Structure 1
Amino acid sequence: MNPRRIAAAAMAAGVAAGLAACGSDDGSSDSGSGGGSSIKIGIKFDQPGLGLKEGSEYTGMDVDVAKYVAKKLGYSDDKIQWVQAPSAQRETLISTGQVKLVVATYSITDERKEKVGFAGPYFIAGQDLLVRSDDTSITGPDSLKGKKLCSVTGSTSAQNVKKKVPGVNLQEFGTYSECVAALASKGVDALTTDNTILAGYAAQDQYKGKLKVVGQPFSEERYGIGLKKGDTDLCTKVTDAVKSMISDGSWQKFVDDNLGPAGFKPGAGNPPTPDACS
C-alpha cells in the first residue's frame, strides 16, 4: 500500500479513538442514565455504617442508598464502579466526569452548589458528641467546658465547637478513627462530628456497648447526592428515586440496618422531603 495512504489511515483511526474517549468521560460508559455497561459512584471508604470498604466489600447507608438509586437508573449492583471520594475531592470528581454521582455524607451548601448539582436531601444529620457509655457528665455541648474533645484537624466540626464552647480543650487528630481509639482508651472525653458518622463508629464490633451518641445535635447537615451542575434531567431522575426509596420503606430499612446497632434514632426532619431540581 502507498505509504501516504497508510499514514492517513493511521491518523484517521487515532482521531476516531480520541473522539470516542472524550465522549465516554462522563463517569459512566454511556451518556444516558441507564442501559449502559456501568456507572461510577463516589463514596467514602472509611466511614463505618455509611461508606466502608473492607477487601472487596462495600457497606453502609450511603452504599445502600447509592445501590437503590443506581437500580432506578437502570444499573444493577454488579454494574456499579465504586470510587473513593474524600471530602476535599468530591467537587473535582464530579466536575471532571470521574464519577456520575457522589453519595458520601455530602452536605448541601450554597458554596458547593456553585460548583456541582445536588439531588436530595435524603437524610438530615447534625453535629453531635460521642462519649463512653458510662459517662453521664457530658450531656451536650454546654457540658464540654474543661473536657478533652477530639475532632479532625481543619474540620468544620472542630471550628463549630471552638465558637460554641470557648473553654473546651480541643484535641485535633488526623482521622476520626484516631479520635475513637483515644476516646475508648480514655485519652479524650468526647468526639464530635456528624451524628451519623458517630453512630457508625459506635456500632462497630469492638465498640458496641462501650460508646454512645449523646443525642443532642447542634447543627443541621442536609445530605445530598452530588451530580454534574446543570444536569436537570439526571437530578430529576435521582430525586424521583429518593422519593421512592422513602415511600416504599427502603429508607427506614437502610437506617435501621446500618445505624440501628448503635441505638441511633434519626432526628427531626427525617425522612426529609427532597428539594425540587433547578
Structure 2
Amino acid sequence: MKLRKVTAASAVLLALSVAATACGGDDKKDDNSSSGGGKKITIGIKFDQPGIGQKTPQGYSGFDVDVATYVAKKLGYGADQIEWKESKSADRETMLQRGDVQFIAASYSITPERQQKVDFAGPYLLAHQDVLLRADESKIKSPADLNNKNLCSVAGSTSAQNVKKTLAPKANLQTYPTYSACLSGLQSGAIDALTTDDSILAGYAAQSQFKGKFKLGGFKMTNENYGIGVKKGSDLKAKINKALEDMVSDGSWDAAVKKNFGPANYKNEPAPKIGDIKS
C-alpha cells in the first residue's frame, strides 16, 4: 500500500512539473515583445491618409504600411501578427511613452522637440512641404504666386501658416476640417491650392477617382524627415534602422514608392541615409 501511495504522489508531482514547464514555455511568447517572435506586434499608423496610411474595408494600405510591414517581418513578425493602431498626430508621443505601440510609422517628421520625448529610427523618406494644384493650373509657378489666391489646409496646420507668414503673406488662407474637404474645394474651383507634405498630397492625388485631375507644384518649401518613432531608449531603434537599410538595398523601398505614389507622378527624393536629417 505504501508503495502505491508513493507512486501516486510521484505521478502527481510529475504532472505538475510538466504543466509548469509548459506554462513557462508559453511565457516566453510576449504579445508585445520588442525583440520579435512573439504572438503579435502593435504598430501605430495613420488611418486617414491615402497613399500613406489608410484603413479601408479591404484592410490597411499606404507607403507607411508597407514600410512598417517590412520592418515587422525583419523583426520576426508575419503580416498576420501585426495589430494596427491609429496614431493621430497629437497622440503619437504619448502612445509610445505608455507602450501602447512598439513603433509608429505615420508621416512622423523628426524634429528636435519630438526627439526630447521619443527616439527615431530612420529617416526613411525625405518629404517636402508643397502645394497641390488642378492639372490645368498655369499661373501658380512658385510660392509667391500664391499671393491673393485661395490657399487651403487643415485647421491648426503649420504648413499653411508657414506659407502665410514667409512665402506668400497675401494668400487668402482658408482652413477646412480635413484634407479631403480641401480637395473637394480644389476640384470645384473654390480653392486654388492645397498645402501640406508632398507625400501626403501625392497620396490623395494618386487615388483612382482623381487620376489626371491634380498635379504637385514641386516647390519643396521645407524638409520633412519621416522617421519611425520608438520609446526613448528602446533597443528597437538599431534593429529598425537595419531593416530600413535592407528595404532600400533589396529594392522594396523603390517598389513601395512606385506602388503608392506613382499615379501622382511624385518626384520623390532618393532614399535617405540612416541618421541623415536634412534641416
Shorter-normalised TM range: 0.7 to 0.9
Rounded Cα–Cα distance in structure 2 between residues aligned with 1:46 and 1:111: 25
Instruction: Report the 3-state secondary structure (helix = DSSP H, G, I; strand = E; otherwise coil) of the residue aligned with 2:183.
Output: helix
TM-score norm. by structure 2 comes to 0.86
Instruction: Report the 3-state secondary structure (helix = DSSP H, G, I; strand = E; otherwise coil) of the residue aligned with 1:193.
Output: strand
Partner of 1:253: 255
C-alpha displacement of 1:56: 4.6
Unaligned 5+ segments in structure 2 are 1-26
TM-score norm. by structure 1 comes to 0.87
Rounded Cα–Cα distance in structure 2 between residues aligned with 1:199 and 1:136: 19
Partner of 2:220: 217
Residue 275 of structure 1 aligns with an amino acid whose one-letter code is: G
Rounded Cα–Cα distance in structure 2 between residues aligned with 1:51 and 1:160: 24
C-alpha displacement of 1:153: 1.1
Partner of 1:199: 202
C-alpha displacement of 1:163: 1.2
**Contact kept? 2:131, 2:217, Cα under 8 Å:** yes
Partner of 1:177: 180
C-alpha displacement of 1:31: 3.2
**Contact kept? 1:129, 1:140, Cα under 8 Å:** no
Residue 250 of structure 2 aligns with an amino acid whose one-letter code is: D
Residue 271 of structure 2 aligns with an amino acid whose one-letter code is: P
Residue 33 of structure 2 aligns with an amino acid whose one-letter code is: S
Q: Does 1:36 align with 2:38?
A: yes
Partner of 1:5: none
Partner of 1:128: 130
In structure 2, the CA distance between the partners of 1:104 and 1:30, relative to structure 1 (3 Å rule), is: closer
**Contact kept? 2:32, 2:102, Cα under 8 Å:** no
Instruction: Report the 3-state secondary structure (helix = DSSP H, G, I; strand = E; otherwise coil) of the residue aligned with 2:244.
Output: helix
Sequence identity of aligned pairs in percent?
54
**91, 94, 99: which one pairs with 2:93?**
91
Q: Deviations over 1:128-173 (max 9, x none)?
A: 0000000011112111011000011111102211112111000011
Aligned 1:17-32 pairs, distance under 5 A:
29-32=31-34
Give the stretch that moved more between structures: 98-107 or 154-163: 154-163
Partner of 1:118: 120
**43, 54, 78: which one pairs with 1:76?**
78
Rounded Cα–Cα distance in structure 2 between residues aligned with 1:79 and 1:52: 18
Aligned alpha-carbon RMSD (Å): 1.5
Residue 205 of structure 2 aligns with an amino acid whose one-letter code is: A
C-alpha displacement of 1:33: 1.6
C-alpha displacement of 1:30: 3.8
Rounded Cα–Cα distance in structure 2 between residues aligned with 1:139 and 1:69: 38
Q: Would you identify which runs of 4 or more consecutive aligned residues in structure 1 move more than 2 Å?
A: none
Residue 273 of structure 1 aligns with an amino acid whose one-letter code is: K
In structure 2, the CA distance between the partners of 1:30 and 1:192, relative to structure 1 (3 Å rule), is: closer
Residue 119 of structure 2 aligns with an amino acid whose one-letter code is: G
Rounded Cα–Cα distance in structure 2 between residues aligned with 1:114 and 1:155: 22
Rounded Cα–Cα distance in structure 1 between residues aligned with 2:61 and 2:32: 26
Rounded Cα–Cα distance in structure 2 between residues aligned with 1:144 and 1:190: 8
Residue 141 of structure 1 aligns with an amino acid whose one-letter code is: P
Rounded Cα–Cα distance in structure 2 between residues aligned with 1:160 and 1:216: 13
Rounded Cα–Cα distance in structure 1 between residues aligned with 2:208 and 2:187: 13
Partner of 2:190: 187
Instruction: Report the 3-state secondary structure (helix = DSSP H, G, I; strand = E; otherwise coil) of the residue aligned with 1:91.
Output: helix
Rounded Cα–Cα distance in structure 2 between residues aligned with 1:187 and 1:230: 48
Indicate the structure (1 or 2) with the bigger Cα radius of gyration: 2
Q: Does 1:274 align with 2:277?
A: no
Partner of 2:109: 107
Rounded Cα–Cα distance in structure 1 between residues aligned with 2:131 and 2:111: 22
Unaligned 5+ segments in structure 1 are 1-22
**Contact kept? 2:34, 2:102, Cα under 8 Å:** no
**130, 140, 143: which one pairs with 1:141?**
143
Rounded Cα–Cα distance in structure 1 between residues aligned with 2:211 and 2:34: 43
Rounded Cα–Cα distance in structure 2 between residues aligned with 1:60 and 1:32: 23
Rounded Cα–Cα distance in structure 1 between residues aligned with 2:55 and 2:162: 29
Q: Does 1:153 align with 2:155?
A: yes
